[in-house]
């Protein structure tokens, strides 16, 4: 089939076929790297959203504790603090919405969980009215804020499922566990705030409180397993402070005097003291979030560089292959065309057998030229007049 195809076409096919194969493999490699980059970009967006969700959770936790204290004291305490806290919560809600509006594509994977969180957050205004009018009980207020906070913790947990990178998954699990430690501590703040405000620690509240302390231990065990040793050590060092001892003393008082109810602890003092500890935990949370976000950024930047280098390498290899192929093709085609031109002139042109082919090359074309020249020399030796041009007619 190829016998009737010109050599230049054959050479072109010989050059283009391996180049096409190289391009296919390069395209496959680039496609894989682009998919990885897109996954990491989504992970980076999810990580950033998790950090902003953590900030909202922190504000909701404070609002929950103040709301429970406000209701428990029948509006006599925490009014000004609660008003200010609601502004801080609203600010974080707006920040979160702004981020979502700019990352709708990357957050599509969390659409279902975000929808559930949004439904609860829409009830915040009505809940606040119920708190202000004291129509909600401390338990009802506590339950609403806890469900809302849990819905955003579920959103954060999505990162551990969606991330395809083991390092990010490990950091996300540690971050999620720590948020839950902090959430349980926030629940403890709200629960004992009610206890100290009412000077009453009933069996139902005590059972709920023991569940909180058990959850704290469970999540701390998970955090210890997945956290960076530096972050774990930092948390332990920050908790080794006077405020932590004060919190422990208040906890002990609540448990030891549970039946008598004579605690002698003002709810605002308890709230302020444990809030110092929770704010310190928020600092550690910020470290965990920054570490996770930085790693996500680094991995995404590395993946982007990988895509660029692979594309550049493929393009460079393509250019070099094409240039080298055409150089080789021209190097073969040009002397063959020259040889064909000489032979054609000798056959149908001036028929001058004194002409010779180029025999200065050292390749196969040069071998053909030398052999043909020797053949003409042999004819000339046997037929002396063979080298003369035929007479004109």
One DSSP character per residue, 96-156 reads HHHHHHH-TTTTGGGHHHHHHHHHHHTTHHHHHHHHHTT-S-HHHHHHHHHHHHHHHHHHH
- pLDDT band per the 50, 70, 90 thresholds, residue 56: very high
For residue 290, what are its two tokens? 């920054």
- Helix and strand tally (H, E) in the chain? 11, 0
* pLDDT reported for residue 393: 47
**Among 12-21, 78-87, 109-118, 195-204, the least confident range:** 12-21
Say whether 206 sits in a helix, a strand or coil: helix
Say whether 73 sits in a helix, a strand or coil: coil
* pLDDT reported for residue 388: 55
Count of Cβ atoms closer than 10 Å to residue 94 Cβ: 11
pTM higher than 0.85: no
Would you say residue 223 has pLDDT above 80?
Answer: yes
List b or e across 265-281, with b for residues whose CB sees 16 or more CB atoms inside 10 angstroms.
Answer: bebbebbebbbebbebb
For residue 80, what are its two tokens? 């000004």
Would you say residue 389 has pLDDT above 60?
Answer: no
Please tell me the distance from the alpha carbon of residue 111 to that of residue 254, in angstroms, as a whole number. Answer: 42
- Average pLDDT, stretch 67-91? 93
Q: Which DSSP state fits 389?
A: P
- Average pLDDT, stretch 286-311? 85
**How high does pLDDT run on average in the chain?**
85
């Amino acid at each position: 089939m190829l016998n009737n195809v010109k050599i230049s076409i054959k050479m072109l096919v010989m050059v283009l076929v391996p180049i096409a194969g190289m391009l296919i493999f390069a395209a496959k490699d680039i496609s894989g790297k682009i998919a990885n980059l897109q996954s990491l970009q989504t992970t980076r967006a999810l990580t950033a959203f998790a950090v902003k969700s953590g900030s909202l959770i922190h504000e909701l936790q404070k609002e929950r504790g103040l709301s429970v204290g406000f209701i428990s004291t029948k509006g006599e305490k925490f009014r000004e603090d609660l008003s200010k806290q609601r502004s801080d919560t609203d600010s974080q809600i707006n920040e979160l919405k702004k981020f979502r509006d700019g990352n709708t594509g990357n957050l599509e994977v969390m659409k279902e969980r975000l929808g559930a969180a949004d439904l609860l957050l829409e009830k915040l205004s009505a809940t606040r009215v119920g708190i202000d009018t004291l129509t909600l009980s401390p338990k009802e207020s506590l339950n609403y804020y806890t469900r809302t906070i849990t819905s955003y913790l579920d959103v954060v947990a999505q990162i551990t499922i969606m991330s395809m990178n083991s390092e990010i998954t490990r950091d996300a699990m540690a971050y999620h566990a720590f948020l839950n430690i902090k959430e349980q501590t926030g629940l403890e703040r709200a629960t004992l705030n009610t206890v100290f405000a009412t000077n009453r620690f009933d069996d139902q509240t005590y059972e709920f409180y023991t569940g909180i302390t058990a959850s704290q231990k469970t999540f701390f065990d998970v955090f210890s397993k997945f956290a960076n040793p530096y972050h774990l050590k930092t948390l332990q060092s920050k908790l080794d402070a006077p405020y932590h001892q004060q919190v422990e003393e208040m906890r002990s008082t609540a448990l030891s005097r549970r039946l008598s109810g004579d605690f002698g602890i003002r709810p605002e003092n308890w709230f302020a003291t444990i809030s110092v500890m929770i704010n310190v935990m928020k600092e550690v949370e910020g470290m965990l979030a920054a570490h996770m976000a930085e790693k996500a950024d680094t991995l995404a930047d590395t993946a982007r560089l990988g895509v660029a280098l692979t594309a550049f390498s493929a393009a460079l290899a393509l250019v070099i292959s094409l240039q080298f192929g055409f150089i080789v093709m021209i190097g073969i085609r040009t002397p063959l065309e020259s040889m064909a031109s000489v032979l054609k002139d000798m056959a149908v042109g001036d028929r001058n057998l004194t002409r010779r082919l180029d025999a200065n090359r050292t390749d196969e074309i040069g071998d053909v030229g030398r052999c043909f020249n020797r053949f003409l020399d042999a004819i000339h030796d046997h037929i002396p007049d063979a080298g003369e041009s035929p007479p004109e007619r």
